[in-house]
Amino acid sequence: GQNIDQPTEMTATEGAIVQINCTYQTSGFNGLFWYQQHAGEAPTFLSYNVLDGLEEKGRFSSFLSRSKGYSYLLLKELQMKDSASYLCAVLDSNYQLIWGAGTKLIIKP
Biggest CA–CA distance in the chain, Å, is 43
Q: Is 5 exposed, middle or buried (0-12, 13-18, 19+ CB in 10 A)?
A: middle
Cβ(85)–Cβ(92) below 8 Å: no
Which of 43, 69 has the CB closer to other proteins?
43
- Please tell me whether residue 74 binds other proteins under the rule CB under 8 A: no
- Work out how close the CB of 80 gets to other proteins at its nearest, in angstroms, rounded to a whole number: 22
Query: Can you tell me which of 82, 102, 105, 107 binds other proteins, judged by CB under 8 A?
Result: 102
How far the first Cα of the chain sits from its last, in Å, is 40
- Work out how close the CB of 109 gets to other proteins at its nearest, in angstroms, rounded to a whole number: 25
Binding stretches for other proteins (CB under 8 A):
30-31, 33, 35, 40-45, 48, 50, 87, 91, 95-97, 99-102
